[in-house]
Amino acid sequence: MVMSLLGKRVITALLGVPLVFTLTYLGGHFLLLAILIIVFFILDEMFHALKKMDVRINRAIGILGSFAFVISAHVHGNGYYPMITYLVVMVYLLYYVNGYPKVALKDVGILFFTSLYVGYFLSYAILIRHLPNGLFFLLLVFILTWSADIGAYFTGSLIGRRKLAKTISPKKTLEGAAGGIVFPVTAVLLTNMIAPFSDKIISILFLGVLAGLFAQFGDLAASAIKRQANIKDFGSILPGHGGFTDRFDSFLTAAPMVYYYLVLFIIN
């Protein structure tokens, strides 16, 4: 069964990786459309999970709030984020007031959190693409998050013994977490050897460590949501990987960190 699952993962990766690279290369409206589609599918999976937690969801408002961050990033960069956040909060408050008392404040709060978690976090893919050498750096983010996932999966499978977060994800181990850091550190070092982007070796090493930590934290956070919703995977649309949330949970939390790290320590 493990080999069957691994085979499905490999096949999906062989189909998905070239598509990701192509859309990243094209950028512009192609990347915007791709991100909006991914946001839509992740939201659909999140809404399904939240309903199992008895959270009242307004799908249209949730999608609108998430799309607003992505479209704003495409058109204006991150300069309009404060205004977009204000407008999204106002729309959600209007939904709360209009729906009271059927709509609880916790429902609105969770809906807003979902818009930030999905739309705001994923909009950083576009912000990274807009950076100088953005094509390279966005591909680097994918490489780092993938290497963290691969490192944690294989290291944990081979030598994993001590549990990392038993109540959230019983299969995750400390040994796997270590592999999820070693692999992206190795990946970022090799990438810098092939296509140098910094002469500061400490900064490069630290980027790999942070990418591994943030990617695995994203995976753990998504696992906690699944555990609370009592579901195994967010979906089944991607064979061997589950749903879009299962595939992009690491990217969601790692991309914003990489963006700010690049701006603060690499590009400048």
Q: What are phi and psi of 100, to 5 degrees?
A: -65, 140
Write down the mean pLDDT value for the chain: 93
Residue 85's domain comprises 2-266
Specify the number of domains making up the chain.
1
- Rounded to whole angstroms, how far apart are CA atoms 103 and 91? 14
Asked whether the predicted pLDDT for residue 29 surpasses 80, the reply is yes
| Non-local CB neighbours of 6 within 8 Å, separated by 6+ positions | 240
Q: What are phi and psi of 35, to 5 degrees?
A: -65, -40
Q: End-to-end distance of the chain based on CA atoms, in angstroms?
A: 48
pTM: 0.94
User: What are the beta bridge partners of residue 242?
Assistant: 238
| Non-local CB neighbours of 141 within 8 Å, separated by 6+ positions | 125, 128, 211, 251, 254, 255, 258
What pLDDT digit, counting tens, does each position of 156-205 carry? Answer: 999 999 999 889 998 899 999 999 999 999 999 999 999 999 999 999 99
As to burial, measured by CB atoms within 10 angstroms (0-12 exposed, 13-18 middle, 19+ buried), residue 166 is exposed
What pLDDT digit, counting tens, does each position of 196-254 carry? Answer: 999 999 999 999 999 999 999 999 999 999 999 999 889 878 776 689 999 999 999 99
Return the residue matching tokens 């999608």: 63
Q: What are phi and psi of 232, to 5 degrees?
A: -80, -45
The alpha carbon of 137 is separated from its chain's Cα centroid by a whole number of angstroms, namely: 16
- Rounded to whole angstroms, how far apart are CA atoms 25 and 48? 32
Asked whether the predicted pLDDT for residue 3 surpasses 50, the reply is no
- Rounded to whole angstroms, how far apart are CA atoms 25 and 23? 5
- Rounded to whole angstroms, how far apart are CA atoms 66 and 115? 5
What pLDDT digit, counting tens, does each position of 91-124 carry? Answer: 999 999 999 999 999 999 999 999 999 999 999 9
**Quick one: what percent of the chain has pLDDT higher than 90?**
86
Task: Classify 198 as helix, strand or coil.
Answer: coil
Tokens of 221: 């956070």
